[in-house]
Amino acid sequence: MPIAASLARFIADAAQCDSLIGTAHHRDTAGAYLFSSADRSHITQAAFLNLFIAWEGFLEEAFS
């Protein structure tokens, strides 16, 4: 896969992770979080792990 395509896929994956974290931290009109603190933490951790996996994939494709 060309490096530009690998980079584009990594950027899309990173944007998806960012969106997931942002969604987890949304608040309702009264200012209360839509998800519990534990849920927000787990969602953020999962998104970070997905970002790390995407980065590893990008590096593999870049060096091969």
pLDDT digits 0-9 by tens, 4-61: 999 999 999 999 999 999 999 999 999 999 999 999 999 999 999 999 999 999 999 9
- Per-residue model confidence (pLDDT) at position 1: 72
- Per-residue model confidence (pLDDT) at position 51: 97
Q: What is the span of the domain harbouring residue 16?
A: 3-63
Cα–Cα distance measured from residue 63 to residue 24, given in angstroms and rounded to the nearest whole number: 34
Domain count, the chain: 1
- pTM for this entry: 0.86
- Per-residue model confidence (pLDDT) at position 41: 97
Amino acid identity of 26? H
The residues near 38 (Cβ < 8 Å, ≥ 6 apart) are: none
CB 13 within 8 A of CB 50: yes
Cα–Cα distance measured from residue 21 to residue 4, given in angstroms and rounded to the nearest whole number: 26
- Per-residue model confidence (pLDDT) at position 35: 96
- Per-residue model confidence (pLDDT) at position 64: 85
Amino acid identity of 4? A
